[in-house]
């Protein structure tokens, strides 16, 4: 019996650059009514992810920053940040590569300038940012750094393969074809779900995990039932126990009807 559904957001329950459907919202309501804990597990910042949880009527902890932060209402349950030294090392690399960086410090998004990358990012995710030179930020609670390249996604693929050897102390993962994320080694979706399983006494076999991108590989590994969306990457599909329909065709809902919801 499934007691916990840990789900990604973008490309899983939310259509890219849009929102969730009425069917998804109703499905999540039915899961909650059956006593199943539904937890959002996302790379998004907490400020943005918590609004989605509220819109869906969820009262469970929200996992943000790829697993680097778990908060329930105002209480922080789990937090793993980058050190100042790690942050500076990544910023030096980004300057050398001339690649845009989003910096998240204490759940505030910063960009050093107003540019195409940050404007497109924030418009798509309906979030806000502040313009500030990174050297002027205290860097006392860096949630993550995000490298963005909309024009050359092949560079993101290249960096994803090469950088783990350069920064072995970090968790580095591609969350979309255009995004490469840098965070604490223990800031993964796997670590976050394992924390909640232990907190609630829920077994891995009682957990369903579902996602669509390579950053969801860690998420799926924490579940007893591993579901990939129809629009998922090939790497994720190879790991999954089952592949549902795409996000455009309510694949999340179809997976829940198959594995969780009483007929």
Instruction: Tell me the three-class secondary structure of 222-241, residue by residue.
Output: CCCEEEECCCCCHHHHHHCC
Q: What's the pTM value of the predicted model, to 2 decimals?
A: 0.92
Residue 82 is given by DSSP the state B
pLDDT tens digits, one per residue of 183-237: 999 999 999 999 999 999 999 999 999 999 999 999 999 999 999 999 999 999 9
Boundaries of every domain in the chain = 4-79+187-259, 84-184
Q: What kind and span of H or E run contains 163?
A: helix 153-166
Fold of 84-184: 3.30.1240
Confidence of residue 18 (pLDDT cuts 50, 70, 90): confident
Q: Which residues pair with 170 in a beta bridge?
A: 184
Query: How far is residue 236's CA from residue 49's CA, in Å, rounded to a whole number?
Result: 22
Query: How far is residue 137's CA from residue 246's CA, in Å, rounded to a whole number?
Result: 40
pLDDT tens digits, one per residue of 45-102: 999 999 999 999 999 999 999 999 999 998 999 999 999 999 999 999 999 999 999 9
194 neighbors 216 (Cβ within 8 angstroms)? no
The correct CATH number of 4-79+187-259 out of 3.40.980.10, 3.20.20.20, 3.40.50.10470, 3.40.50.1000 is: 3.40.50.1000
For β-strands 100-105 and 142-148, DSSP reports them as antiparallel
Q: Is the pLDDT of residue 108 over 80?
A: yes
């Amino acid at each position: 019996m499934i007691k916990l559904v840990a789900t990604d957001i973008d490309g899983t329950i939310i259509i890219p650059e849009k929102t969730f459907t009425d069917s998804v919202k109703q499905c999540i309501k039915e899961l909650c009514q059956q006593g199943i804990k539904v937890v959002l597990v996302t790379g998004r910042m907490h400020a943005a992810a918590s609004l989605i949880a509220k819109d869906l009527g969820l009262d469970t902890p929200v996992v943000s920053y790829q697993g680097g932060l778990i908060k329930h209402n105002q209480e922080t349950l789990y937090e793993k940040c980058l050190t100042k030294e790690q942050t500076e090392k990544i910023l030096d690399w980004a300057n050398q590569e001339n690649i845009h960086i989003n910096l998240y410090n204490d759940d505030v998004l910063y960009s050093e300038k107003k540019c195409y990358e940050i404007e497109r990012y924030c418009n798509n995710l309906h979030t806000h940012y502040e313009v500030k030179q990174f050297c002027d930020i205290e860097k006392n609670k860096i949630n993550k750094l995000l490298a963005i390249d909309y024009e050359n996604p092949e560079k993101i693929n290249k960096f994803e393969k090469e950088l783990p050897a350069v920064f072995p102390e970090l968790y580095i993962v591609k969350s979309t074809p255009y995004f490469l994320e840098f965070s604490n080694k223990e800031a993964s979706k796997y670590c976050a779900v394992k924390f909640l399983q232990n907190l609630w006494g829920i077994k891995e076999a009682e957990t369903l995990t579902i996602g669509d991108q390579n950053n969801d590989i860690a998420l799926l590994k924490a579940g007893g039932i591993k579901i990939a969306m129809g629009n998922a990457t090939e790497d994720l599909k190879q790991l999954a126990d089952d592949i549902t329909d795409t996000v455009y065709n309510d694949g999340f809902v179809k997976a829940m009807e198959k594995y969780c919801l009483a007929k």
